[in-house]
Amino acid sequence: EDQVTQSPEALRLQEGESSSLNCSYTVSGLRGLFWYRQDPGKGPEFLFTLYSAGEEKEKERLKATLTKKESFLHITAPKPEDSATYLCAVPLSWGKLQFGAGTQVVVTP
Amino acid sequence: NAGVTQTPKFRILKIGQSMTLQCTQDMNHNYMYWYRQDPGMGLKLIYYSVGAGITDKGEVPNGYNVSRSTTEDFPLRLELAAPSQTSVYFCASTSDRGTRVNTEAFFGQGTRLTVV
C-alpha cells in the first residue's frame, strides 16, 4: 500500500534557526514527489516537483531534495512569513495525489 | 485567470440535509479532483474525473456523488449529511500532458463544512 509519512508533526523555530522537514514514502514505481505550502484557511500552494533521486530544487529560503526513500525540505534562516503547514505528496495514476499529514512550522521573531 | 474557484466558503448543515459544493476552473484542465482534509490528517481523495462524462471513486467516496458535464465544472454532492462529513473540502485540477501526467495540481480555497 502506498504510504507517505511526514515528520515532525510540528516544528517551532526562532527566526534565523535553520531546520529540515522529512517526507518518507513507500510507493511502487515512484513518478516524482511534490511539496506544497498551506496557509491557514487556504488551499495548498505548489512549491516544488522532484522527479528523480539526487534532484534538488530551491526557492528563496527553501530547498527540497529527493532520495530513493525520502525527501527533505530544508528551511534556511527562516522568517516569520515562512510559518505554514508544509505538505508532501506523491503522484499516483491519473494525477491523483497521496498526501502526508503535513508538518506545521511556526517561526517566531 | 481565476484558477480553481470553490463555493461556498463556509456552510453549516443539519444531519440529513443535502448540498452541492461547486467547483469551477478556467485553465482548461481535463483532470479534476475532490479531496477532504481533517485536522491532523493529510488530504484524502473522494472522487476524481479525467474528462467530461468520466468520473471515478477515490479513497473515501461513501456519502458523496459527483458529475462532470463540462470541462470547467466538477460539483460534489452530499446526500443525507452526517457528522462524519464535517471537514474542509478542496477541489483541484491538473493538466494531462501525455505520458508526463505529474504536473502540479492547482487547488481552490476550500469549503469548510460543519454538519450538526
Which structural domains are found in chain A, ordered by start?
3-103 (2.60.40.10)
Q: B51: distance to nearest CA of chain A, Å?
A: 11
> Helix, strand, or coil here: A39?
coil
- For residue B116, what pLDDT is reported? 96
Cα gap B35→B64, rounded to integer Å: 11
Whether omega for the bond prior to residue A78 falls within 30 degrees of 0, making it cis, is no
- For residue B95, what pLDDT is reported? 86
Nearest-Cα residue of chain A relative to residue B90: A43
Cα gap A42→A84, rounded to integer Å: 10
For residue B75, pLDDT beyond 90: yes
pLDDT band at B102 (very low <50, low <70, confident <90, very high): low
- Who wins on pLDDT, B32 or A32? B32
- Who wins on pLDDT, A28 or B113? B113
Question: In this structure, which topology does domain B17-97 adopt according to CATH?
Answer: Immunoglobulin-like (2.60.40)
Cα gap B49→B90, rounded to integer Å: 14
Nearest-Cα residue of chain A relative to residue B35: A97
Rama region for A60: left / alpha / beta (φ>0; ψ in -120 to 50; rest): left
Mean pLDDT over all residues of chain A? 94
For residue B88, pLDDT beyond 70: yes
